[in-house]
Structure 1
C-alpha cells in the first residue's frame, strides 16, 4: 500500500525540552496520553521527596497528612478555578462518580440518563443505583448544538439525574457543554459531569456549574496516578459519604472524604506540582501545541483509506477516527487491535469498540513529535490494507 499522500502543510513544531521532562521508554511511540497520562520528572522528584519524608518519620508525616492534603487541595483548586472547600481529593474519576451518585440519593425507580459515549465503569456505577436510560449519540453529530438536542430529546418526566462526559473518552467530543447543563438545570434535573480529561485541558473546567463535577489530575494535569478532584454544589456537600470511617468524619466534607488512615498520600501532595509545572510551561501555549499535534496526526490518518475523521473541538488535544467496517466491533476485538498496533507497529493509541466498527483515538503531548504521527499513518495504512 502506498504511503498516505503528503501535502505542503507545515508540520507542528517540537515543544522545546518537552521530551526531556518525561521518562518514557523508546520501545513504542506514546500517542495515548489521554488514557493514563505520564508523570513529568520534576513531579516524580517531588513525590519521591515526600516518600523519603514519610519513611524518615512516619508519625510526623501521617499526623500532618489531613492538613497538608487540604493545603494541596487549595493549590489545585486555585489552578482550576474551583472552591477548595467544595472540592475533595479522590483516587480517580470512577471513585468520584460513585461518591457523587450516592450523594444524589437515587432510588431504584429513578431514571438516570447517560449517553453511549460514557465511560464504562462510570455508567456501571449509575446502573447499580437506578434505572439507566441511554441516549445514542451518532459519533458524526456535527457540533455541540446537535449533541445538546439529542440529549434533551432523551429527557422524560422520570429523569432524575443526567450523567454526562465533559469530554468523551473514546470519541473526544464535548458533551456536557454549558448550554446543555443550563437546560437541564432549568428542568430541575441533577447534573453529574465526568470531567476526566478536563483538568489541564480546559481553562475553565467547571463552566456550566453542574451539581457534581470530577476530573482526573493525572492525565493532562501532570499529577501522579491516583489523583483526581471531586467538586460538589453546596446543597449536596453534607450528603457525600466518607469512603471509610476515619478520625476526620466529624469535620465533614471534604476532609471526611480525603482521610484514608495510613495510605500513600504522596501522590495527592505532589499533584499541585504538576499544575505548577503546566503554568510555568505556559498552559495556553501547551494546550495550543498539543491540539495542533493531535490535529496534524488526525489529518494524516484521514488520508488512510477506510479511516473517517470524527467531528472535533480544536481546543482538545485528542482526535478520533472511525476504522473501516468490521474492525473493533466488540471490546475484545478493540483490545486485540490495540495490542497489535502496540506490539507489531510500535505505537500506543486507544482503540474503541462500536457496533459495526469501532475507532482509533490519538493524543498530542509535549513529548510527541510530528514524525511519530507520520510513521503511524504509514504503518496503520499497511496494517489495515493487509486485513
Structure 2
C-alpha cells in the first residue's frame, strides 16, 4: 500500500507563527501555538491593563469577558448563557466534580483513555467525598458500537453519579462517539461530562448537538487562542448548582459570572481569544481542518514506515478530521510514563523534533499532529532519524 500524498501547504500560513524554524514542532496538541497577530492583540490588552489597572479591572471588564464568551460559544455551537470561560479543560472538570456533591457510595465512571490530570482530579474528589472512581477498559481498536456497548454495560443506575468521557482522547488519539454515549447514559439517568480538550477548532461538532450535561474544551490548542482559554458548557438543569473553585465578587451574580470572575486573574487570554478565531476563519476553517488531518495522516504513514510498522498496525482515530495520529513504538520502549517523558525529551534534544510520547496499557506510542505551520519534510526527516535513536535504547 503506497503512502498517501501530503496536502498542499496553505500559502503564508507558516509565517503567521513565531516558532523556532530550527525545530520541527510536531506536537501542537499539547500546548498549541499562538499566531503572531494574536500575540500582539493580547499584548495590546496587557498594555491597556498596565497603563491603568484600576480602570481596566473595574470599568466594564465583566461585560468584556461576557462579550468574548458569547463570541467563542457561538463558534462552538454552545449556549452562551450556559457557558463559562475557564483556564483550561482540567479546571472545568474540577469545577464540575466539586459541584456534584458526591457522597460515600457514589461512583464516578470513566474509561482507560482518560487524560491523566482528569483522572487525578477524579481520584482526589473521590478521596475527599468517599465516592469511588471506576475505570472501564476500552480496546484501542473498538468500533463506535463496541464503545457504546462497553459504556452501557458499565453504568450502574442509582450509583453512577457521573460518567466522564473524552471526545478525542489525548493518550490514544481516538475519536469517541460522545453523542451516542450521552444518549445511552441519559437512558439510565446518568449525567455525562465530556472532556473535549482537543475539539475546539479541530472538530466541527456543535457542542449543543452532543447533549452532554457538562462539556469542557480548550481554545488554546486548535482555536489559536492564547493559552489559558477554555470553555465550560453546562446544561440548564445544572447551572444553579455550579460553584467556582474560589469565591469572588461575582458569586451572587450566579453562573457563569461567578465562575469567570477571579479578581486579579489575567483576563487578557480570554479577551484576545476572538482574534485566534479570526485567524482560523481567515485561513478557512474547513481548509485548515482538512489540511491538518491529511498532514497528520501522512506523517503517521511516513514515520510508521520508517519504524517498520505495517499500515494495518497503525491505529485509525475513527474520524477523517482528526489531526492527531498514533504510531506504536518498538516493544520495551516507553512502557512507563517516566520512560515516555525521557524519550520525548531526548527526541527534542537530539533530533530537534518536538513530539508527544505516550505510555498506554504498557505500550509506548508516538503521537504526531498536523498543523498549518508543518511541512511534509519534517515528518520525512523524523522517519529517517528516529529509528537510529531508538536502536540505541
In which range does the TM-score fall when normalised by the shorter chain?
over 0.9
116, 121, 141: which one pairs with 1:120? 116
Within 2, Cα distance between the matches of 1:131 and 1:264? 35
Q: CA deviation at 1:33?
A: 0.2
CA distance in 2, matches of 1:372, 1:103: 45
Instruction: Give the Cα separation in 1 of the matches to 2:71 and 2:42.
Output: 16
- Return the offset for 1:160: 2.0
> Residues 300 and 327 of structure 2 are in contact (CA less than 8 Å); yes or no, is this contact kept in structure 1?
yes
Residue 104 of structure 1 deviates from its aligned partner by 2.4
Residue 13 of structure 2 contacts residue 372 of structure 2 at CA under 8 Å; is this kept in 1? Answer: yes
So what's the TM-score if we normalise by structure 1? 0.95
Task: Output the CA distance in 2 between the equivalents of 1:131 and 1:350.
Answer: 31
Alpha-carbon distance in structure 1 between the residues aligned to 2:384 and 2:252? 59
Aligned residue runs from structure 1 range 94-133, under 5 A: 94-129=90-125, 130-133=131-134
Partner in structure 1 of residue 342 of structure 2: 336
Is contact 2:167-2:196 (8 Å) kept? yes
Asked whether the equivalents of residues 5 and 298 of structure 2 are also in contact (C-alpha less than 8 Å), the reply is: no
Partner residue, 2:203: 202
SS in 1 for 2:306: coil
294, 297, 306: which is aligned to 2:296? Answer: 294
SS state at 2:363 partner: coil
Per-residue CA deviation, residues 153-176 of structure 1 (Å, 9 max, x unaligned), is 322343221101110001111125
Q: 1:213 to 1:9 in 2, by over 3 A?
A: closer
Alignment of 1:265 with 2:267, yes or no, is: yes
1:40 aligns with 35
1:41-60 C-alpha deviation (Å, 9 max, x unpaired): 11111101111111112122
Aligned residue number for residue 214 of structure 1: 216
Of residues 13, 26, 30, the one that matches 2:8 is 13
Instruction: Give the distance between the partners of 1:108 and 1:275, measured in 2 at CA.
Output: 43
Describe the SS at the equivalent of 1:353. strand
Q: Distance in 1 between matches of 2:389 and 2:331?
A: 15
Alignment partner of 2:74 out of 70, 73, 78? 78
Q: What do the CA deviations read for 1:55-114 (whole angstroms, capped 9, x no partner)?
A: 112122101211110111011111111111100000011110011112222223211111
> 2:245 corresponds to which residue?
243
SS in 2 for 1:230: strand
The Cα shift of 1:8 comes to 7.0
Matched, 1:311 2:313: no
Which residue of structure 2 aligns with residue 284 of structure 1? 286
Q: Classify the secondary structure of the residue corresponding to 2:367.
A: strand
Contact 1:198 1:205 in 2 (8 A): no
Is 1:353 the counterpart of 2:349? The answer is no
SS at match of 1:164: strand
Cα-to-partner distance string for 1:322-368 (whole Å, 9 max, x where unaligned): 21221111111101111111111111111111243221110000000
Supply the RMSD in Å over aligned alpha carbons. 1.6
- TM-score scaled by length of structure 2: 0.93
The 8 Å contact of residues 325 and 356 in structure 1, kept in 2 or not, is answered as: no
In structure 1, the partner of 2:128 is none
- 2:171 is matched with which residue? 170
Unpaired runs of at least 5, structure 1: 1-5
Say if 1:306 and 1:323, in contact at 8 Å, map to a contact too.
no
